[in-house]
Amino acid sequence: FDKLAIIDLSLARSVIIISQSQRKTDKVCPTTTTSPPPPPPPPPTTCIVVPPFKQPKPIIIISLTSLHSKFSGLRLQHFPNLYVDRITCRYGGGSSSRLEDSFRRSKDIITSDDDDQALDVSSIRSNTVRLIDDQQNMVGIVSKTAAIQMAEDAELDLVILSPDADPPVVKLMDYNKYRYEQQKKKREQQKKSAALRMDQKELKMGYNIDVHDYSVRLRAAQKFLKDGDKVKVIVNLKGRENEFRNNAIELLNRFRNDIGELGIEESKNLRDRNMFMVLIPNKVVVQKEPPKKKRKSKSTETEVSATAN
């Protein structure tokens, strides 16, 4: 049975369940009669017979295709007082995972209510608390009842700051406003950290690069450094090109000198075949450079001169 079945026992004298894998070959067990026959030997089939009862009640059956492996040889007969209310099995791998997912979701919901615990004054066992008002002033040690009354009079929330202190520390504040400000500070901090985070750009050159390609890569490196990104300059030596290792080293040193004060050498490797040099932007020089002015088009200059005349 790979589907959920709801069967009303008032429509039949008995309910017979047969595993799906043996549905074609197995024989249905006979229903109970007034004179019960002697119990036959356990057949290889799998069946459950539920005798009828006086009041019709529905029965919910959830079964697996592997039901025969769990109830093999089991026969329920000749029990007039027996009522099988529910047979519940694990349905494949889906229901278990769905239950686990629902449990995780409910757990997430519970953990997301940690902020609400700060408002649960009933969790304070002490009769006294150390109160701070909404102006950051220390009121002192007062009774818990008095602190609750002061919060109600001021139409503010009584928030628990230190529940483990002796006595616990509470504060009068607008908790929704406080949470909003904290989330705002967190977002601003994330933006700042994202701005400080540098991406790394790679530029590859050959030891015998020509003048034009060299100038293109030099301008690209300068642009990346001005944008606040790292630049990794790589010179690969393949096969017999390793004989020109000195040329590759001179090329990297030349590139470093042409960058000038715009970049600072962070690391380099001149031993392996894949030589590289990592440059990071010099923040002092990058911040001092003024922003580039946009060039005005010729049509705009003509209109301005015509207006002046």
| Higher pLDDT among residues 118 and 80, named by residue | 118
With a cut of 90, say whether residue 215 has pLDDT above it.
yes
With a cut of 80, say whether residue 91 has pLDDT above it.
no
Between the ranges 39-48, 66-75, 189-198, where is the mean pLDDT highest? 189-198
- Tokens coding 19: 């595993």
| Higher pLDDT among residues 174 and 90, named by residue | 174
**200-288 CATH, one of 3.30.930.10, 3.30.110.10, 3.30.1280.10, 3.30.2010.30:** 3.30.110.10
Parse the chain into domains and list their residue ranges.
1-33+41-93, 116-177, 200-288
With a cut of 90, say whether residue 53 has pLDDT above it.
no
With a cut of 90, say whether residue 11 has pLDDT above it.
no
Q: How would residue 129 be classed by pLDDT, with cut points 50, 70 and 90?
A: very high
Position 243 scores a pLDDT of 86
Q: What is the pLDDT of the chain when averaged over all its residues?
A: 69
> Can you tell me the distance from the alpha carbon of 139 to that of 208, in angstroms, rounded to the nearest whole number?
77
Q: Which is it for strands 274-281 and 169-173: parallel, antiparallel or unpaired?
A: unpaired
Q: Which is it for strands 263-269 and 274-281: parallel, antiparallel or unpaired?
A: antiparallel
- The residue written with tokens 């700042």 in the block is 192
> Can you tell me the distance from the alpha carbon of 2 to that of 84, in angstroms, rounded to the nearest whole number?
20
- Is the preceding omega at residue 167 within 30 degrees of 0, hence cis? yes
Q: Please give the DSSP secondary-structure letter assigned to residue 45.
A: S
- With H, G, I as helix, E, B as strand and everything else as coil, classify residue 197: coil
Of all residues in the chain, what percent carry a pLDDT higher than 70? 54
Q: What is the DSSP string of 249-277?
A: HHHHHHHHHHHGGGEEEEEEE-SSSEEEE
With a cut of 50, say whether residue 204 has pLDDT above it.
yes
Q: Which is it for strands 86-87 and 15-18: parallel, antiparallel or unpaired?
A: unpaired
Position 252 scores a pLDDT of 92
Position 273 scores a pLDDT of 83
Beta strands in the chain (DSSP E): 5-8, 15-18, 47-50, 58-61, 86-87, 128-132, 138-143, 157-162, 169-173, 200-205, 230-236, 263-269, 274-281
Q: How would residue 7 be classed by pLDDT, with cut points 50, 70 and 90?
A: very low
Q: How would residue 14 be classed by pLDDT, with cut points 50, 70 and 90?
A: very low
In terms of CATH, what superfamily is 116-177? Translation initiation factor 3 (IF-3), N-terminal domain (3.10.20.80)
Lowest mean pLDDT across 91-95, 117-121, 163-167, 210-214: 91-95
- Tokens coding 3: 């589907």
With a cut of 50, say whether residue 181 has pLDDT above it.
yes
With a cut of 70, say whether residue 223 has pLDDT above it.
yes
